[in-house]
Structure 1
């Protein structure tokens, strides 16, 4: 009889423990993704279509918990369901190798308390074509983290996309953020992340030696194949420049496109886009997390040409960038 009673007590204890564990645990939701329904592509959150009614904070609004405290209630009162907020490299990694996730933790907590989703904007090496949100230890070391040069050979504020040390440091910080979110955000409060903000520069190109040497290098074979296979779909301006050089199927950037503004922007933005994506370390991290959105800074004076590069540049360049475990939204 005693054995039977002991058995019953053990069973009841086990059931209570399981019940408590279920109540205290957090169900891990499905990672947001894009799904095509007919002619429409929808953002799916928890396996259901999600229409973002979003508000975006000013650049530095989310930089302190105190400043944000009254903002959350105002956001909720506006009947929003999503907030676009920045996570800056300078605050995430104030000292090299030392990461501070306090602001991220509070942001997740407050968003959940107010029934809001988050789209985090990573202000890393770029923010509006400048490097204003990099950590102080990056800003001070202009040798290790060298800057873009202007025509006169002088440094400007923006870190050069050809700087390998900056690429590694930015990738490490962003990768740390992604890994942390994958561990603590089981509820998928964060549904989108923007890696880098308006990649580019307020001049035609970087006049550093590495960039200038690029003009003499071969155009990637996949880009040339794309141009050849889609010649009837190319913007007229792109097509005319290419044809004026004989519609070459191979050659250096100067040989294929001539020494034109289009050439410089194709090469510049191709380099910055490719490098910025690699900075994120997606190939190494293999972290399954939300869809990502990004956009670039296009310093083109002619609005028609801006459209050319905004459409053709991304469509073309994405064909020769290694496939990544993310979805890009433009």
Structure 2
């Protein structure tokens, strides 16, 4: 189990190194993460490589028995490279370059960027190919974060057109699939095709979907080129990438980036600059489970926090033991390594208000001792915590479907990620693990699968889902399922949900986008006779063929239509949620589903997690997210306290 800190010795007087390493070791660390932003230090002038500084750091770390996670430095290009190639800067708007000075300021499609990035990575890895103290290589840093997944420069335009030329056999094929006869947008050649920058009204949805795919592929190609370099030089290297949060809203598919990595790593920030309060405990848990789900295996946390965070505006300061508690939560949900960002907060540069374990005064105080106690405690359970975490429930996300909603939101109130978290919260509140997985992974192991807002129809995936249900799985579909084809267009001569009609035992007669979360009155039928509730956001008027109605709409125009249904298909069942449901109704329906599949539930008070890890030998985490004491059975927990019990 790797436990340690993110350390940037190049930002400090080298005379501080020995004392810093001594303190880091005293804290209980066995690893430091270095190097990820030090390109200029390694290559001060073009082609003149010098790794002597890090040679010294690694040698000193060895003296303190501290291993190394080494980050390749391609996230921050040196000033001399921009001086030579000023057009390498990305453009948020065509013809308007951003300024050099932040990070990820480069265009990934600039022909010289890949050359220089590959050169520095090759030289770095060749230099350290025999260095046994390096236990893992981190590729770049937070790819796609802070808007770096978009660029509208001429290089991107040309490469986008090449992307389309490669994808479609000829321009006529693209015109047909896009439906460019609409608004006289028919193209005679691929070089006529624009990027989807600002226009009057809006661009073609198929064009915009291909743009999303292109943006993702751009970053995928860059990452994979870097991975190949390391694999060729150090075949058995352990390779990771540290993902930022918010993956479901990025213009890059995190699941594709994860495919060729050995380890998914996560930078876990429950609070950031300007936030009055941290995000909710279930939202933190969702992000952790999403990261674990990218490869459906344990992950690393490469940036845990101890202090307040922010660039220009600082945020909420974690209360005593609160950030320590978030560390326990991360480990409980599958993190088998954790390094804190950062050992000491910076006194210069853009992250001066990203507070570390030590502050600028360089004194060991509360935060230092909290980390020390956490490391000491969590090491006791190393063997159990390195075992796989198993779940019987999955929530499935799909990059193309999420992109489709970014392109055409359909309802002003529909935020797919936030609505998905409402379903997730039901299980979180009952202390049930959920795998949040990409649609590319296998489904067979789960008793329950939720497919929220899977709006883009893919035949291969549909066959996989149908097989899952027929073999006994329980599937929960939501409104706006299978509305679009793979080109992000509606489908002629087909009822919604396209391809899922027989599976769900229904079709959609009409639809309505709503302007409220709870404007619909729903009344129960069959086993829910006498139950009433509310819905909103969006609704589909469902007509049952073989499905059974569980709830109907209760208004004077649409009271003949179903709102929630259940259909039996061979050994399995399909539930369809035709509108956004209030929390009470989610509880009513999901309670019965849990009982049917005999998954144990443990509903605790809000803010208290009680979850178990381990197979033959088990431990139980008691995590109090509340700022007040709580009692669970005969156990009392102080504010933000966490305890681990062997069971």
Deviations along 1:160-205, whole A, 9 cap, x unmatched? 101222211121111111111124x2xx111011121122364362
SS in 2 for 1:90: helix
Match of 2:157 among 212, 217, 221: 212
1:288 aligns with 2:235: yes
Q: Is the 8 A contact 1:174 1:280 kept in 2?
A: no
The equivalent residue for 2:97 is: 155
Partners of 1:220 and 1:141 in 2: how far apart? 31
Taking structure 2 as the reference length, the TM-score comes to 0.31
**1:306-321 to 2 correspondences below 5 Å:** 306=250, 309-311=253-255, 313-314=256-257, 318=259
Contact 2:25–2:64 (Cα < 8 Å) also in 1: yes
Alpha-carbon distance between aligned partners in 1 of 2:159 and 2:3, rounded to the nearest angstrom: 43
Cα deviation digits, residues 205-234 of structure 1 (max 9, x gap):
21012323444433977xxxxxxxxxxxxx
Higher relative CO (CA 8 A, sep ≥ 6), structure 1 or 2? 1
Out of 44, 52, 55, the residue aligned to residue 102 of structure 1 is 52
Cα distance change, pair 62–277 in 1 and its aligned pair in 2 (3 A): farther
Q: How does 1:194-273 map to 2 (within 5 A)?
A: 194-200=138-144, 202-203=146-147, 205-216=150-161, 217-218=163-164, 258-260=206-208, 263-273=210-220
How many pairs were matched up?
A: 228
Matched, 1:140 2:75: no
Query: Helix, strand or coil for the counterpart of 2:62?
Result: helix
Q: Structure 1 residues 220 and 197, CA, compared in 2 at 3 Å: closer, same or farther?
A: farther
| Deviation for aligned residue 1:285 | 4.5
Equivalent residues of 2:144, 2:252 under 8 A apart: no
Distance 1:111 1:284 in 2: 25
| Greater C-alpha Rg | 2
Give the structure 1 partner of residue 262 of structure 2: 327
Could you tell me how far 1:108 is from its partner in structure 2?
A: 1.5
* Cα distance per residue 1:271-307 (max 9 Å; x no partner): 0221243256618943335211114567x7xx75459
8 Å contact kept, 2:67–2:135: yes
Per the normalisation by structure 1, the TM-score is 0.58
Q: Is residue 147 of structure 2 the alignment partner of residue 177 of structure 1?
A: no
Contact residue 121 and residue 229 of structure 2 kept, 8 A: no
**Match of 2:68?**
118
Give ranges in structure 1 of 5+ residues lacking alignment. 1-50, 222-243, 247-251
RMSD: 3.7
Q: Please say if residues 4 and 24 of structure 2, whose CA atoms lie closer than 8 Å, have aligned partners that are also in contact.
A: no
Change (3 A) 1:160 1:274: same
Q: Give the 3 Å change call, closer, same or farther, for CA 118–296 of structure 1 in structure 2.
A: same
CA spacing shift, 1:285–1:96, aligned 2, 3 Å: farther
Q: How many Å separate the matches in 2 of 1:110 and 1:213? A: 48
Paired residue secondary structure (2:118)? helix
Gaps of 5+ in 2: 168-176, 180-192, 197-202, 266-647
CA contact 1:194–1:292 (8 Å) conserved in 2: yes
Going from structure 1 to structure 2, the CA distance change for 1:257 and 1:196 (only over 3 Å counts) comes to farther
1:80 aligns with 2:25: no
Q: Which residue in the other structure is 1:189 paired with?
A: 133
What secondary structure sits across from 1:258 in the alignment? helix
State the distance in 2 between where 1:73 and 1:152 align. 50
Deviation at 1:63, TM superposition (A): 4.3
Using the alignment, how far apart are the partners of 1:89 and 1:265 within structure 2? 30
Once the two structures are TM-superposed, the CA of residue 78 in structure 1 deviates from its matched residue by 0.6
Of Structure 1 and Structure 2, the greater helix share is in: 1
- Going from structure 1 to structure 2, the CA distance change for 1:256 and 1:68 (only over 3 Å counts) comes to farther
